[in-house]
Chains A and B, each alone.
Chain A
Amino acid sequence: MPKLIIDDREIEVPEGTRVIEAAEHLGIMIPRFCYHPALGAAGACRVCAVKVIEGPVKGIQMSCMMEARDGMVVSTTDEEAMEFRRFVIELLMLNHPHDCPVCDEGGHCLLQDETVSGGHAHRRTSMKKRTYRDQDLGPFIRHEMNRCIHCYRCSRFYQDFAGGLDYGPLRLGDRTYFGRFTEGRLESPFAGNLIDVCPTGTLTDKPSRYSIRRWHGERGPSLCISCSLGCSTVANAYLRDLVRIEANYNESVNGFFICDRGRFGFYYAKHPERPRRARVDVSEAPTPEALREAAKRLARIAATHGPGAVACIGSTRSSLETMGALVRLCETSGWRKPVFFSDPAMQRKVRTAVSRIDKRLHVSLREIEKADFILAVGADPLNEAPMLALAMRQASRNEAAVAVIDSRPVVLPLDFERLAVARHDVEACLNVIMREAVSDEDLKIAIEKLPGGADGAASRAADFYTGIRNAGEGLPPEVRVRALKIAAQLKAAHRPIIVCGVDAVCETTPALAADHASILSGLKERAGIFYILPGANAFGAALLSSPIGEGASSFFEEIEKGEVKALVVVECDPLGQFPDRRRIEKALGNLELLVVLDYLPSETVKQAHIFVPTNTHYESGGCFVNQEGRAQFTPPVYAGGEPNRQETGGAHPPRVFRSHIPGGGPEPAWKLLAPLGAAPRGEAPELRGNLRSILDGLHPAFEQLADSPIPPVGERPSTYYARFLAEGALHVGSLAPQDCGALAFASSDAGEKAPGVGKDDERLEIILTEWTFGSEELSSYSPYILQAEAEKEPCACMQTEDASRLGISDGDLVALRSAGGGGLTVRIRVVENMARGCIILPRHGRLAWQDLEPSPVQASVERVKK
């Protein structure tokens, strides 16, 4: 480890550390524009110049381009170095417009900071400034090329880091222009990071243009709940208006970046139609009154029909507090245990996944980047958990091999091997690859190292591997050839990771993936399993859901049977988010009482007999457990209420004193739940201490949460890259294996059977899936997300051969009809790179996919005549 001296202070840093980073360890922030910890050095801006007094090359050197060496002596305050840095700033300011007053970057602008700190205050030239024409880059990002200082951060992020190929440097010299071939939306779903990465106001947040100065607002660390990864964000609110989300640094999860769904998908919190007042039947009522009324009616139904007539549905977007409170409510009131998943199968899959993440196999999102082999099984990262795709790209840039086994036309910003096979063949492919990559001898070694070898897992594993000897037989030859190639890559790998989805896979797949990962962990330096779960708190929901394996659909059956008379729906929208809408509609109609607590203006809210508004996590904070079991507390960022802009129509805040926050009625759902129950009402506990009391005894995993520190509310970042949540984060980890965990090695016979798709059969399996934009519940309320995906008509994908067999061509409008009478009309995209025998249908807000029955469902395809 080289030891060097910077500004008379000694520091020892790991081999390969750059001088600019070594200085940072000492708290010395050497000016920089092109250098970025995630993007590395480019040597382009030349503003990080230091003087090397002792070292391999002496004199003025760029600290970003230089690795720290033993015995180096570096000065950052040397007059010559400072003079050169001042010179560079002066050059950059030659052409930079003095439009800081109207620039959205003003106040958190790196160029401003460095200009001020460098002491350049007087323009000494009368040269004309260079001007450019800006481009319309879509609804997310505003382009102001005149402000560009050509640090190349944007193109290095966009092209190198994120793999986007529609934005980059054009022309040359002092005419260099960063933009697109033609105007239009940036295609990469990570484009929003350009806003954070750009050190000037060249690329700024378009939706929040002219609405906030960073220091004016309430600003604090927050969390993205638009998928299960749990990326750290910074939320900015101003005059009760949540205006802007930025990426927050989290060294274990998202690193420096977030996806555009997370950045621009928060508008549900300030949706003009967001229900902010409680309602009893058709009339508004104060929240306490609505709660009292709900409690009264629930008690009556429980008294009349027995407590089993009351059921509760939660969701995976609620905080752990809310989930816990719901479980407690049901427990204390003697009602049915609550459900958090749409159907029993999904609950079982998630519970299996959660039970299989143990210390050996657990990997964080950041560790994905360090893998040298990634096998995605039934996963579509870019659509299901976008930041996972970005992490996989970093692995790929470090020469990791990436392969995907999935029925969908998976697209990733990297080169990968694809096995496009039907859902029910995914396991066979996985087995072929593993069987080929693990020799009999290796298998013996691996089995010996298996945990729980004593309970028969070893013999089951051995039997299993014998059983899959011929796993590839049913597969098409070209798939087998590719599988062998992937197997060879896996064999050579040292740090393989299996990524597994739970949405579009058979029920047994998550367990199988973990089993194989277990075998690999006995053979490799490091092996891991990384699940994608449905929803920000699906992990927590799995811990809290009952092992009986019910889902919301089970309750709808009970309603039909007349067993359930009252339904409490907490932050969930069965009408908008679950399939089989007609049946749900009918079931809800049959209820004696529907109580809904939510913050979204959803269909279900409209159907409620009693509605009580709740808070978003921006207003109340909360704990969410991401898909790897990392519990993350997010503090409240602002007090909530109706945005001033909506209340006053954009005018200045009224100069009157009020004792209440306009539109500030909602409270966190967990606080509202207790009063609904039959149990004696206690005083609502404070957030800081409450989690323990809510979760106490509900699951052993939560015991770890007891004394964990919650980061101070509303803390502001003290350095350029703040790190709060990373420190506050806590790994909940393994669920006790007695549930459904331990090595399964179920014979593949247990898996779902292939639906009988014959040559003449026109029925295709419908696979419901996610799209990066347009299918996820919360972000679908964002006008900017809607605008971004507006140009892309939602469509279903069909394999070329199926299409030609059924006489369907690309762009045809077709009617899909299931045997149960469900169906919808959708445009078809004919795609080569997907499995045959199925149709991939996004749960898109503009498609009536809810009119289909729950999967697995098959449908006939018929072209609609225009």
Chain B
Amino acid sequence: MVSCAILKWRVDSPAPSVDAVLSDKSAQMTPKELEESLKEDIEKAYDPREQAVDVLYALQRQHGHLSDEAMREASRLLGMTPLELDELATFYDFLYREPVGKYVIHVCDSVVCWMHGHQSVMDYIAERLGVGLGGTTPDGMFTLLPTCCLGYCDRAPAMLINGRVYGELTGEKIDRILQELREEEPPLALDR
């Protein structure tokens, strides 16, 4: 007899509605709206530097990646030099200084997913998309990258695409996901 609660967290069905999603908002805003909203956030922060990563995120969503121009824009908004921001942008995993596809597929390659065959997931996606690790599909839809443990080890192997995690991947499931992403804007960032 199992004498404890067996808990397993899944959000297969839509989780409680989430009203404000910065991610999608900033991509939809006009540059002017975005600038105003970022300025407001910077104003609210204890120190502008606190918002550095947030601003970089927002501009990345707006521009697709952090181009030199986007970096200069961030520098202007935050009053930090482009170099100071580049020190951060080049440090973090989820800030892209090079052009990426509309969807960035981060396949977890840490030890639990590794045990559950992350390599075959990676190979499968690479084959399906016809790109290697780090590559972007010619239509600009997908970029394939590795990432470290996503914290979904209970549902390994897992991958993360634009803020949403997909677990217990199989070839079939991957096909479905890629198909979905190609066809429609997915609902707000929820784990699947």
A–B contact at 8 Å CB threshold (below):
yes
Binding site for B on A (CB under 8 A): 165-172, 177, 180-182
User: Are A168 and B87 also in contact (CB < 8 A) when A181-B81, A181-B82 are?
Assistant: yes
A172 to B97, CA, bound (A): 14
Measured between beta carbons, the chain A residues less than 8 angstroms from B115 are none
CB within 8 A of B83: which of A166, A171, A172?
Answer: A166
Max chain B C-beta neighbours (<10 A), residue from A165, A177, A180, A181:
A181
Asked if A168 and B91 make an inter-chain contact with CB atoms under 8 angstroms apart, the answer reads: no
Closest CB of chain B to A842's CB: distance in Å?
Answer: 25
Measured between beta carbons, the chain A residues less than 8 angstroms from B87 are 168-170
Asked if A181 and B91 make an inter-chain contact with CB atoms under 8 angstroms apart, the answer reads: no
Asked if A171 and B91 make an inter-chain contact with CB atoms under 8 angstroms apart, the answer reads: yes
| 8 extra interface residue pairs, beta carbon distance < 8 Å, beyond A172-B90, A181-B71, A181-B83 | A165-B80, A165-B84, A168-B83, A170-B86, A172-B91, A180-B83, A181-B81, A181-B86
Q: Please name the 9 residue pairs, one residue from A and one from B, whose CB atoms are nearest each other, closest first.
A: A181-B82, A165-B81, A181-B83, A170-B90, A171-B90, A181-B86, A172-B91, A166-B83, A168-B87
Measured between beta carbons, the chain B residues less than 8 angstroms from A181 are 68, 71, 81-83, 86
Measured between beta carbons, the chain A residues less than 8 angstroms from B90 are 170-172, 177
Name 17 interchain pairs, CB-CB below 8 A, sorted by A. Answer: A165-B80, A165-B81, A165-B83, A165-B84, A166-B81, A168-B83, A168-B87, A169-B87, A170-B87, A171-B90, A171-B91, A172-B91, A177-B90, A180-B83, A181-B71, A181-B86, A182-B82
Closest to A177 in B: B90
B57-100 interface bits toward A, Cβ cutoff 8 Å, 1 = contact, 0 = none? 00000000000100100000000111110110011000000000
Measured between beta carbons, the chain B residues less than 8 angstroms from A170 are 86-87, 90-91
Closest CB of chain B to A559's CB: distance in Å?
Answer: 53
Closest to B91 in A: A172
Measured between beta carbons, the chain B residues less than 8 angstroms from A171 are 90-91
Q: Is the interface of B mostly helix, strand, loop or mixed?
A: helix
B160-185 interface bits toward A, Cβ cutoff 8 Å, 1 = contact, 0 = none? 00000000000000000000000000
Asked if A182 and B91 make an inter-chain contact with CB atoms under 8 angstroms apart, the answer reads: no
Closest CB of chain A to B118's CB: distance in Å?
Answer: 21
Closest to B83 in A: A181
Measured between beta carbons, the chain B residues less than 8 angstroms from A168 are 83-84, 87
A181 to B80, CA, bound (A): 12
A181 to B97, CA, bound (A): 12
A835 to B83, CA, bound (A): 31
A429 to B95, CA, bound (A): 49
Measured between beta carbons, the chain A residues less than 8 angstroms from B82 are 181-182
Closest CB of chain B to A230's CB: distance in Å?
Answer: 33
Measured between beta carbons, the chain A residues less than 8 angstroms from B71 are 181
Q: Is the interface of A mostly helix, strand, loop or mixed?
A: loop
A259 to B82, CA, bound (A): 24
Taking CB atoms and an 8 Å cut-off, the chain B residues in 80-135 that contact chain A are: 80-84, 86-87, 90-91
Max chain A C-beta neighbours (<10 A), residue from B68, B83, B91:
B83
Closest CB of chain B to A49's CB: distance in Å?
Answer: 27
Asked if A182 and B68 make an inter-chain contact with CB atoms under 8 angstroms apart, the answer reads: yes
Closest CB of chain A to B6's CB: distance in Å?
Answer: 39
Closest to B68 in A: A182
Closest CB of chain B to A325's CB: distance in Å?
Answer: 51
Measured between beta carbons, the chain B residues less than 8 angstroms from A166 are 81, 83
A171 to B71, CA, bound (A): 15
A167 to B81, CA, bound (A): 10
A166 to B81, CA, bound (A): 7
A180 to B83, CA, bound (A): 6
A166 to B84, CA, bound (A): 7
A171 to B87, CA, bound (A): 7
Closest CB of chain B to A850's CB: distance in Å?
Answer: 37
Measured between beta carbons, the chain A residues less than 8 angstroms from B81 are 165-166, 181
Closest CB of chain B to A170's CB: distance in Å?
Answer: 5
Measured between beta carbons, the chain A residues less than 8 angstroms from B86 are 170, 181
A177 to B97, CA, bound (A): 15
Closest CB of chain B to A407's CB: distance in Å?
Answer: 26
Asked if B91 and A167 make an inter-chain contact with CB atoms under 8 angstroms apart, the answer reads: no
A170 to B90, CA, bound (A): 6
A168 to B81, CA, bound (A): 11
Closest CB of chain B to A324's CB: distance in Å?
Answer: 49
Closest CB of chain A to B167's CB: distance in Å?
Answer: 28
Closest CB of chain A to B3's CB: distance in Å?
Answer: 44
Closest CB of chain B to A21's CB: distance in Å?
Answer: 30
A170 to B97, CA, bound (A): 12
Closest CB of chain A to B63's CB: distance in Å?
Answer: 16
Measured between beta carbons, the chain A residues less than 8 angstroms from B91 are 170-172
Measured between beta carbons, the chain B residues less than 8 angstroms from A172 are 90-91
A182 to B67, CA, bound (A): 12
Closest CB of chain B to A824's CB: distance in Å?
Answer: 34
Closest CB of chain A to B55's CB: distance in Å?
Answer: 16
Closest CB of chain B to A174's CB: distance in Å?
Answer: 14
A687 to B71, CA, bound (A): 59
Closest CB of chain A to B137's CB: distance in Å?
Answer: 26
Closest CB of chain A to B81's CB: distance in Å?
Answer: 4
A166 to B87, CA, bound (A): 10
A497 to B58, CA, bound (A): 46
A177 to B82, CA, bound (A): 15
A177 to B91, CA, bound (A): 11
Closest CB of chain B to A173's CB: distance in Å?
Answer: 9
A180 to B86, CA, bound (A): 9
Closest to B75 in A: A181
Measured between beta carbons, the chain A residues less than 8 angstroms from B83 are 165-168, 180-181
A165 to B90, CA, bound (A): 16
Measured between beta carbons, the chain A residues less than 8 angstroms from B84 are 165, 168
Closest CB of chain B to A2's CB: distance in Å?
Answer: 38
Closest CB of chain B to A176's CB: distance in Å?
Answer: 9
Closest to A169 in B: B87
Closest to A155 in B: B87
Closest CB of chain A to B34's CB: distance in Å?
Answer: 22
A171 to B68, CA, bound (A): 16
A182 to B83, CA, bound (A): 8
A167 to B82, CA, bound (A): 10
Closest CB of chain A to B60's CB: distance in Å?
Answer: 17
A165 to B81, CA, bound (A): 6
A286 to B40, CA, bound (A): 76
A172 to B90, CA, bound (A): 8
Measured between beta carbons, the chain B residues less than 8 angstroms from A165 are 80-81, 83-84
Closest CB of chain A to B75's CB: distance in Å?
Answer: 9
A167 to B68, CA, bound (A): 16
Closest to A182 in B: B68
Closest to B80 in A: A165
Taking CB atoms and an 8 Å cut-off, the chain B residues in 7-25 that contact chain A are: none
A531 to B84, CA, bound (A): 35
Measured between beta carbons, the chain A residues less than 8 angstroms from B68 are 181-182
A167 to B80, CA, bound (A): 13
Measured between beta carbons, the chain A residues less than 8 angstroms from B80 are 165
Closest CB of chain B to A148's CB: distance in Å?
Answer: 15
Closest CB of chain A to B96's CB: distance in Å?
Answer: 13
Closest CB of chain A to B76's CB: distance in Å?
Answer: 13
Closest CB of chain B to A737's CB: distance in Å?
Answer: 49
A276 to B129, CA, bound (A): 73
A807 to B90, CA, bound (A): 45
A165 to B78, CA, bound (A): 14
A767 to B84, CA, bound (A): 35
A171 to B80, CA, bound (A): 18
A165 to B49, CA, bound (A): 14
Closest CB of chain A to B186's CB: distance in Å?
Answer: 31
Measured between beta carbons, the chain B residues less than 8 angstroms from A182 are 68, 82
Closest CB of chain A to B90's CB: distance in Å?
Answer: 5
